[in-house]
Amino acid sequence: MAVAGGSSTDEEARRTGLAGIRSVYPSLAPAEQKVAYYVLEHPEEVIYASVTQLAEACGVGESTIIRFCQSVGFRGYQDLKLALAMQQREAPGTIQEDIQPDDPLPLVIEKVSYANVQIIRDTARMVDAGALERAIDTLVRARRVEFYGVGASGVTALDAKYKFLRIGFVCDAYVDSHLQAMSAATLQPGDVAVGISHSGSTKDVVDSCRVAARAGATVIAITDYKRAPITEVAHITLLTACREKPLGSGTLRSKIAQIHVLDLLWTGVALRLGERALEYTRKTAEAVVDKLY
Protein backbone atom coordinates (compact mmCIF):
# COMPACT_ATOMS: atom_id res chain seq x y z
CA MET A 1 0.00 0.00 0.00
CA ALA A 2 1.07 3.54 -0.58
CA VAL A 3 1.61 5.39 2.64
CA ALA A 4 0.53 9.01 2.72
CA GLY A 5 2.21 11.50 4.91
CA GLY A 6 5.00 13.03 2.90
CA SER A 7 8.66 12.17 2.31
CA SER A 8 11.42 12.70 4.87
CA THR A 9 12.68 16.07 3.71
CA ASP A 10 15.03 18.28 5.69
CA GLU A 11 12.22 20.79 6.12
CA GLU A 12 9.92 18.14 7.57
CA ALA A 13 12.68 16.87 9.88
CA ARG A 14 13.26 20.39 11.22
CA ARG A 15 9.54 20.84 11.81
CA THR A 16 9.03 17.54 13.63
CA GLY A 17 12.32 17.58 15.59
CA LEU A 18 12.53 15.07 18.45
CA ALA A 19 9.03 13.77 17.73
CA GLY A 20 10.13 12.86 14.21
CA ILE A 21 13.15 10.96 15.54
CA ARG A 22 10.96 9.00 17.95
CA SER A 23 8.59 8.22 15.08
CA VAL A 24 11.25 6.38 13.05
CA TYR A 25 13.28 4.97 15.98
CA PRO A 26 12.13 1.31 15.64
CA SER A 27 13.13 1.19 11.96
CA LEU A 28 16.69 2.49 12.48
CA ALA A 29 19.74 0.24 12.35
CA PRO A 30 21.03 -0.81 15.81
CA ALA A 31 24.00 1.56 15.71
CA GLU A 32 21.73 4.42 14.63
CA GLN A 33 19.33 3.60 17.47
CA LYS A 34 22.21 4.22 19.89
CA VAL A 35 22.57 7.71 18.46
CA ALA A 36 18.82 8.30 18.46
CA TYR A 37 18.55 7.25 22.11
CA TYR A 38 21.34 9.63 23.11
CA VAL A 39 19.86 12.51 21.12
CA LEU A 40 16.41 11.95 22.63
CA GLU A 41 17.80 11.78 26.16
CA HIS A 42 20.39 14.56 25.87
CA PRO A 43 19.22 17.05 23.20
CA GLU A 44 20.77 20.08 24.91
CA GLU A 45 24.20 18.40 25.07
CA VAL A 46 24.03 17.46 21.39
CA ILE A 47 23.51 21.11 20.43
CA TYR A 48 27.02 21.95 21.71
CA ALA A 49 28.77 18.69 20.73
CA SER A 50 30.90 18.17 17.66
CA VAL A 51 30.25 15.15 15.49
CA THR A 52 33.36 13.53 17.01
CA GLN A 53 32.17 14.16 20.57
CA LEU A 54 28.72 12.75 19.83
CA ALA A 55 30.24 9.68 18.19
CA GLU A 56 32.39 9.06 21.28
CA ALA A 57 29.43 9.55 23.63
CA CYS A 58 27.37 7.03 21.66
CA GLY A 59 30.19 4.55 21.13
CA VAL A 60 29.87 4.63 17.33
CA GLY A 61 31.86 5.97 14.40
CA GLU A 62 31.44 9.45 12.95
CA SER A 63 30.00 7.95 9.75
CA THR A 64 27.17 6.45 11.83
CA ILE A 65 26.27 9.93 13.08
CA ILE A 66 25.97 11.16 9.50
CA ARG A 67 23.93 8.11 8.45
CA PHE A 68 21.64 8.64 11.44
CA CYS A 69 21.04 12.28 10.48
CA GLN A 70 20.15 11.26 6.94
CA SER A 71 17.95 8.37 8.11
CA VAL A 72 15.79 10.72 10.16
CA GLY A 73 15.51 13.25 7.36
CA PHE A 74 18.31 15.79 7.84
CA ARG A 75 20.95 16.67 5.27
CA GLY A 76 23.66 16.56 7.89
CA TYR A 77 24.67 16.98 11.52
CA GLN A 78 24.47 20.78 11.57
CA ASP A 79 20.85 20.67 10.41
CA LEU A 80 20.06 18.28 13.26
CA LYS A 81 21.69 20.62 15.78
CA LEU A 82 19.76 23.60 14.41
CA ALA A 83 16.44 21.76 14.78
CA LEU A 84 17.29 20.76 18.35
CA ALA A 85 18.27 24.31 19.24
CA MET A 86 15.01 25.69 17.89
CA GLN A 87 12.97 23.12 19.81
CA GLN A 88 14.89 23.59 23.07
CA ARG A 89 14.20 27.32 22.89
CA GLU A 90 10.48 26.59 23.22
CA ALA A 91 10.78 24.61 26.46
CA PRO A 92 11.39 26.06 29.94
CA GLY A 93 14.25 24.31 31.74
CA THR A 94 13.09 22.44 34.84
CA ILE A 95 9.65 21.60 33.46
CA GLN A 96 11.24 19.28 30.90
CA GLU A 97 12.65 17.07 33.62
CA ASP A 98 10.90 13.88 34.77
CA ILE A 99 8.83 14.09 37.92
CA GLN A 100 10.87 13.36 41.04
CA PRO A 101 9.54 11.78 44.28
CA ASP A 102 10.36 14.92 46.27
CA ASP A 103 8.78 17.38 43.81
CA PRO A 104 6.25 19.70 45.50
CA LEU A 105 2.69 19.36 44.19
CA PRO A 106 2.70 22.75 42.37
CA LEU A 107 5.77 21.61 40.38
CA VAL A 108 4.13 18.23 39.64
CA ILE A 109 1.09 20.07 38.28
CA GLU A 110 3.36 22.24 36.14
CA LYS A 111 5.39 19.30 34.80
CA VAL A 112 2.38 17.12 33.97
CA SER A 113 0.56 20.05 32.34
CA TYR A 114 3.63 20.99 30.32
CA ALA A 115 4.12 17.39 29.15
CA ASN A 116 0.50 17.08 28.03
CA VAL A 117 0.56 20.41 26.20
CA GLN A 118 3.87 19.42 24.58
CA ILE A 119 2.26 16.22 23.26
CA ILE A 120 -0.32 18.31 21.40
CA ARG A 121 2.36 20.65 20.06
CA ASP A 122 4.53 17.75 18.90
CA THR A 123 1.55 16.00 17.32
CA ALA A 124 0.67 19.20 15.45
CA ARG A 125 4.20 19.11 14.00
CA MET A 126 3.80 15.48 12.94
CA VAL A 127 0.43 15.83 11.20
CA ASP A 128 0.85 16.19 7.44
CA ALA A 129 -1.75 18.64 6.14
CA GLY A 130 -2.00 16.84 2.80
CA ALA A 131 -2.63 13.47 4.47
CA LEU A 132 -5.20 15.07 6.78
CA GLU A 133 -6.98 16.63 3.80
CA ARG A 134 -7.13 13.26 2.02
CA ALA A 135 -8.49 11.61 5.16
CA ILE A 136 -11.19 14.28 5.49
CA ASP A 137 -12.17 13.86 1.80
CA THR A 138 -12.37 10.09 2.26
CA LEU A 139 -14.54 10.32 5.39
CA VAL A 140 -16.91 12.87 3.87
CA ARG A 141 -17.61 10.45 0.99
CA ALA A 142 -17.72 7.31 3.15
CA ARG A 143 -20.76 5.04 3.17
CA ARG A 144 -19.74 3.44 6.46
CA VAL A 145 -16.90 4.05 8.90
CA GLU A 146 -15.45 1.53 11.39
CA PHE A 147 -12.93 2.36 14.12
CA TYR A 148 -10.55 -0.34 15.39
CA GLY A 149 -8.39 -0.23 18.51
CA VAL A 150 -7.49 -2.36 21.52
CA GLY A 151 -6.48 -1.42 25.06
CA ALA A 152 -6.17 2.33 25.53
CA SER A 153 -6.48 2.83 21.77
CA GLY A 154 -9.79 0.97 21.96
CA VAL A 155 -11.08 3.69 24.28
CA THR A 156 -10.00 6.23 21.68
CA ALA A 157 -11.91 4.27 19.01
CA LEU A 158 -15.06 4.39 21.14
CA ASP A 159 -14.63 8.14 21.58
CA ALA A 160 -14.28 8.52 17.80
CA LYS A 161 -17.53 6.61 17.27
CA TYR A 162 -19.31 8.96 19.67
CA LYS A 163 -18.02 12.09 17.92
CA PHE A 164 -18.83 10.96 14.38
CA LEU A 165 -22.21 9.52 15.32
CA ARG A 166 -23.15 12.98 16.61
CA ILE A 167 -22.80 14.41 13.09
CA GLY A 168 -24.78 11.70 11.33
CA PHE A 169 -22.20 9.10 10.34
CA VAL A 170 -23.07 5.43 9.98
CA CYS A 171 -20.19 4.23 12.13
CA ASP A 172 -19.13 1.81 14.83
CA ALA A 173 -16.11 1.02 17.00
CA TYR A 174 -14.74 -2.42 17.82
CA VAL A 175 -12.30 -3.21 20.60
CA ASP A 176 -12.62 -7.01 20.37
CA SER A 177 -10.27 -8.67 17.88
CA HIS A 178 -12.89 -11.15 16.61
CA LEU A 179 -15.48 -8.44 16.04
CA GLN A 180 -12.84 -6.30 14.31
CA ALA A 181 -12.04 -9.13 11.91
CA MET A 182 -15.70 -9.80 11.14
CA SER A 183 -16.41 -6.11 10.65
CA ALA A 184 -13.44 -5.71 8.31
CA ALA A 185 -14.51 -8.70 6.20
CA THR A 186 -17.92 -7.11 5.54
CA LEU A 187 -16.58 -3.76 4.35
CA GLN A 188 -16.85 -2.72 0.71
CA PRO A 189 -15.41 -0.08 -1.63
CA GLY A 190 -16.64 3.28 -0.33
CA ASP A 191 -16.28 2.20 3.29
CA VAL A 192 -13.52 3.37 5.64
CA ALA A 193 -11.63 1.53 8.38
CA VAL A 194 -9.69 3.67 10.88
CA GLY A 195 -7.01 1.68 12.70
CA ILE A 196 -5.74 3.29 15.91
CA SER A 197 -2.51 1.98 17.42
CA HIS A 198 0.18 3.91 19.27
CA SER A 199 2.89 1.41 18.32
CA GLY A 200 1.44 0.66 14.90
CA SER A 201 2.38 -2.95 15.62
CA THR A 202 -0.73 -4.19 17.44
CA LYS A 203 -1.35 -7.43 15.58
CA ASP A 204 -5.15 -7.51 15.94
CA VAL A 205 -5.57 -3.98 14.62
CA VAL A 206 -3.04 -4.41 11.80
CA ASP A 207 -4.62 -7.70 10.71
CA SER A 208 -8.11 -6.18 10.71
CA CYS A 209 -6.90 -3.22 8.64
CA ARG A 210 -5.33 -5.65 6.18
CA VAL A 211 -8.63 -7.52 5.84
CA ALA A 212 -10.48 -4.23 5.35
CA ALA A 213 -8.07 -3.16 2.61
CA ARG A 214 -8.48 -6.49 0.81
CA ALA A 215 -12.25 -6.03 0.98
CA GLY A 216 -11.89 -2.74 -0.90
CA ALA A 217 -12.25 -0.28 1.98
CA THR A 218 -9.97 2.71 2.45
CA VAL A 219 -7.75 2.32 5.52
CA ILE A 220 -6.69 5.30 7.64
CA ALA A 221 -4.00 4.62 10.25
CA ILE A 222 -3.40 6.74 13.35
CA THR A 223 -0.06 5.82 14.89
CA ASP A 224 3.08 7.21 16.49
CA TYR A 225 5.56 5.47 14.19
CA LYS A 226 6.08 6.39 10.55
CA ARG A 227 7.41 2.98 9.46
CA ALA A 228 5.23 0.74 11.64
CA PRO A 229 3.48 -2.35 10.20
CA ILE A 230 0.10 -0.60 10.16
CA THR A 231 1.42 2.00 7.71
CA GLU A 232 2.21 -0.79 5.23
CA VAL A 233 -1.50 -1.66 4.91
CA ALA A 234 -2.90 1.87 5.26
CA HIS A 235 -3.81 4.14 2.36
CA ILE A 236 -3.48 7.24 4.56
CA THR A 237 -1.33 7.62 7.67
CA LEU A 238 -1.80 10.30 10.33
CA LEU A 239 1.07 10.51 12.81
CA THR A 240 0.85 11.32 16.50
CA ALA A 241 3.71 12.18 18.85
CA CYS A 242 4.01 10.83 22.36
CA ARG A 243 6.96 9.92 24.56
CA GLU A 244 6.04 6.62 26.18
CA LYS A 245 7.94 4.85 28.92
CA PRO A 246 7.11 1.25 29.84
CA LEU A 247 6.24 2.18 33.46
CA GLY A 248 5.05 5.72 32.82
CA SER A 249 1.63 7.22 32.17
CA GLY A 250 2.06 6.62 28.47
CA THR A 251 -1.36 5.17 27.79
CA LEU A 252 -3.06 8.42 28.85
CA ARG A 253 -0.55 10.55 26.97
CA SER A 254 -0.85 8.48 23.81
CA LYS A 255 -4.63 8.93 24.06
CA ILE A 256 -4.18 12.70 24.25
CA ALA A 257 -2.24 12.61 20.97
CA GLN A 258 -4.74 10.26 19.31
CA ILE A 259 -7.76 12.27 20.40
CA HIS A 260 -6.10 15.45 19.13
CA VAL A 261 -5.70 13.92 15.66
CA LEU A 262 -9.28 12.63 15.75
CA ASP A 263 -10.46 16.10 16.74
CA LEU A 264 -8.64 17.54 13.73
CA LEU A 265 -10.34 14.94 11.51
CA TRP A 266 -13.76 15.51 13.06
CA THR A 267 -13.49 19.29 12.83
CA GLY A 268 -12.42 19.13 9.19
CA VAL A 269 -15.30 16.80 8.33
CA ALA A 270 -17.86 18.86 10.26
CA LEU A 271 -16.76 22.03 8.50
CA ARG A 272 -17.03 20.29 5.13
CA LEU A 273 -20.54 19.01 5.90
CA GLY A 274 -21.69 22.44 7.11
CA GLU A 275 -25.44 22.63 7.78
CA ARG A 276 -25.80 18.85 7.59
CA ALA A 277 -23.43 18.43 10.55
CA LEU A 278 -25.24 21.13 12.51
CA GLU A 279 -28.61 19.51 11.86
CA TYR A 280 -27.45 16.10 13.06
CA THR A 281 -25.80 17.66 16.11
CA ARG A 282 -29.14 19.28 16.97
CA LYS A 283 -31.06 16.03 16.45
CA THR A 284 -28.70 13.93 18.55
CA ALA A 285 -28.66 16.53 21.31
CA GLU A 286 -32.48 16.58 21.39
CA ALA A 287 -32.52 12.77 21.49
CA VAL A 288 -30.75 12.70 24.84
CA VAL A 289 -31.99 15.93 26.42
CA ASP A 290 -34.51 14.09 28.61
CA LYS A 291 -31.66 12.02 30.07
CA LEU A 292 -30.61 15.05 32.12
CA TYR A 293 -32.11 16.27 35.40
List, in order of start, the domains of the chain with CATH numbers. Answer: 10-90 (1.10.10.10), 129-291 (3.40.50.10490)
Q: What is the pLDDT of residue 3?
A: 40
Q: How far apart are CA 174 and CA 161, in angstroms?
A: 9
| Mean local confidence (pLDDT), 88-96 | 55
Q: What is the pLDDT of residue 245?
A: 53
Q: What is the pLDDT of residue 137?
A: 97
Q: Say yes or no to pLDDT of 72 above 60.
A: yes
| Mean local confidence (pLDDT), 5-12 | 54
How many of the other CB atoms lie within 10 Å of CB of 80? Answer: 30
Question: pLDDT tens-digit profile of 159-185?
Answer: 999 999 999 999 999 999 999 999 999
Q: What is the pLDDT of residue 138?
A: 97
Q: How far apart are CA 130 and CA 216, in angstroms?
A: 22
Question: pLDDT tens-digit profile of 216-258?
Answer: 999 999 999 888 899 999 999 999 987 665 444 446 888 999 9
Q: Say yes or no to pLDDT of 199 above 90.
A: no
Strands 236-239 and 171-174: what pairing?
A: unpaired
Question: pLDDT tens-digit profile of 95-141?
Answer: 555 778 888 998 888 888 888 888 898 899 889 999 999 999 999 99
Q: Say yes or no to pLDDT of 212 above 90.
A: yes
Q: What is the pLDDT of residue 90?
A: 57
- Nearest-CA neighbor of 256 among 187, 212, 198? 198
Residue pair 79/10 in contact (Cβ under 8 Å)? The answer is yes
Q: What is the pLDDT of residue 53?
A: 87
- Nearest-CA neighbor of 165 among 148, 147, 152? 147
Cα 270–202–235 angle (5° rounding)? 45
Provide the mean pLDDT of the chain: 88
Ranges of H-type helices in the chain: 10-24, 30-41, 43-48, 51-58, 62-71, 77-89, 105-126, 129-141, 152-165, 177-185, 203-214, 229-233, 250-273, 275-288
Residue type at 85 in one-letter notation: A
Q: What is the pLDDT of residue 247?
A: 42
236-239: strand order across its sheet: 171-174, 144-148, 191-196, 218-223, 236-239
pTM of the entire structure? 0.78
